[in-house]
Amino acid sequence: MRRRCATRAEQYERPSFRVLQERVASNTLSIRERWGWSQEEAAHRFSMATQVFQRVEAGTVNLTLTTVARVCDGLDVDPVALFAPAPAPLRRGRGRPPAKSEV
């Protein structure tokens, strides 16, 4: 992952930046899950690398307007939907979920 510019580091810690980043991440995740897509399938539909899409959903990337537009086009939503207040994300364990036969 690219290092953030040291002179702008405090901008990435501002509450307003974190709120927007978390909203986009949470809304992207919930809309993708409503479509029933895996992260790999969504990334393919958005014409982006899976790792980039994973960082979008994790809220660890500073999105460009181009990336926001690609996500909106892929999810078939208005950009307002990505920035709308979102319910608190469900915290999941790391790794793959157990197979249905194991549940």
CATH architecture, range 15-83: Orthogonal Bundle (1.10)
Dist. CA 76–CA 99, nearest whole Å: 30
Residue range 71-95: average pLDDT? 82
Phi-psi region of 91 (alpha: psi -120 to 50; beta: other; left: phi over 0): beta
pTM (predicted TM-score) = 0.74
- Calculate the dihedral angle through the C-alpha atoms of 89, 93, 96, 97, rounding to the nearest 10 degrees: -80
SS3 state at 19: helix
Q: What is the pLDDT of residue 66?
A: 93
Nearest to 29 by CA among 59, 65, 9: 59
Whether the predicted pLDDT of 96 surpasses 60 = yes
Mean pLDDT on 20-35: 93
Confidence band of 15 (pLDDT split at 50, 70, 90): confident
